[in-house]
Amino acid sequence: MKRLVAFRRGCRAVAAVEFALIVPVLMVILAGAADFGFREWNRSCLANAVAQGAYYAFVTGPTVSTTAVQTMVQSASSLTGVTVSPVAAVACYCPTGTPAVLGPAVTPCTKACPGDGTLPAGILPGKYLVITASYKGTSIIPAYSILQQPGGETITETAIVRLQ
Among candidate residues 12, 79, 88, the one with its CA nearest the CA of residue 57: 88
* Non-local CB neighbours of 6 within 8 Å, separated by 6+ positions: none
Q: What is the pLDDT of residue 99?
A: 72
Rg (the chain; Cα; Å): 27
Q: Are 156 and 123 in contact (CB under 8 A)?
A: no
Q: Are 109 and 93 in contact (CB under 8 A)?
A: no
What does the pLDDT average to over 77-97? Answer: 79
The per-residue pLDDT for range 103-162, each reduced to its tens digit, is: 777 777 777 777 666 666 677 788 888 888 998 877 777 665 555 555 567 888 988 888
Q: What is the pLDDT of residue 55?
A: 93
For 105-108, the CB contacts below 8 A with 24+ separation are: none
Q: What is the pLDDT of residue 150?
A: 56
Question: Which of the 8 DSSP states describes residue 152?
Answer: -
Output the pTM of the full model.
Answer: 0.74
Q: What average pLDDT does the structure give for the chain?
A: 79
Range of the domain at 51: 2-162
Among candidate residues 62, 63, 83, the one with its CA nearest the CA of residue 71: 83
Q: What is the pLDDT of residue 118?
A: 66
Number of structural domains found in the chain: 1
Confidence of residue 94 (pLDDT cuts 50, 70, 90): confident
Cis check for the bond before 125: say yes or no (omega within 30 of 0): no
Q: What is the pLDDT of residue 44?
A: 92
**Is residue 4 pLDDT above 90, yes or no?**
no
